Amino acid sequence: MHKECPFCGSIDILNCIDCGASTCMKCGFVWDPGQLSRPLSYYLKECGEAANQKGWKVTWTELPAYLMATIDELCDGFERGWRDNKEKKMHVEIGDCFIRLFHISHDLNIPLEKILIRLLEENKSRPYKHGHERI
């Protein structure tokens, strides 16, 4: 079974014999072993459909507002996570950012998997730090 919690890293895990689900005894995070190895297309579909069902539909016209909301998630992570040394909070805000980006990609039919594969290959040929001294 799982050796540590994918959320907090604790090794205090309770595994269900009947369904195979795992529960972290430290933070309470519950997960199904199959949940942690789903393809990117699953998350794109789930995030997009869940947001659409709640009335959020990204259009090209409204894209700037959705991108700013995504940036806001990262700012929240910085303000309430990294700045205050609360690592778990930063993790959650980064997760929220991915959910928003998956929703945007879903609604605008962005072929994210193909783009990521191409960019990963391109980045392999770039120089160290892409030729810059700073980030």
**Does 88 lie in the same domain as 107?**
yes
Q: State the 10-residue block means of pLDDT for the chain, 135 residues long.
A: 73 82 84 74 93 97 96 88 83 91 98 93 90 85
Q: In degrees rounded to 5, what are phi and psi of residue 22?
A: -115, 145
**Does 87 lie in the same domain as 21?**
no
**Does 50 lie in the same domain as 23?**
no
Tokens found for residue 3: 């050796």
Res 39: pLDDT:
79
**Does 44 lie in the same domain as 25?**
no
**CB contact set of 28 (below 8 Å; sequence gap of 6+):** none
**Does 54 lie in the same domain as 19?**
no
Domain that holds residue 67: 38-131
Res 36: pLDDT:
65
Number of domains in the chain: 2
**Does 110 lie in the same domain as 88?**
yes
**Does 75 lie in the same domain as 11?**
no
**Does 94 lie in the same domain as 43?**
yes
Helix, strand counts (H, E) of the chain: 4, 3
**Does 77 lie in the same domain as 21?**
no
Closest CA to 106 of 55, 46, 21, 28: 46
**Does 77 lie in the same domain as 43?**
yes
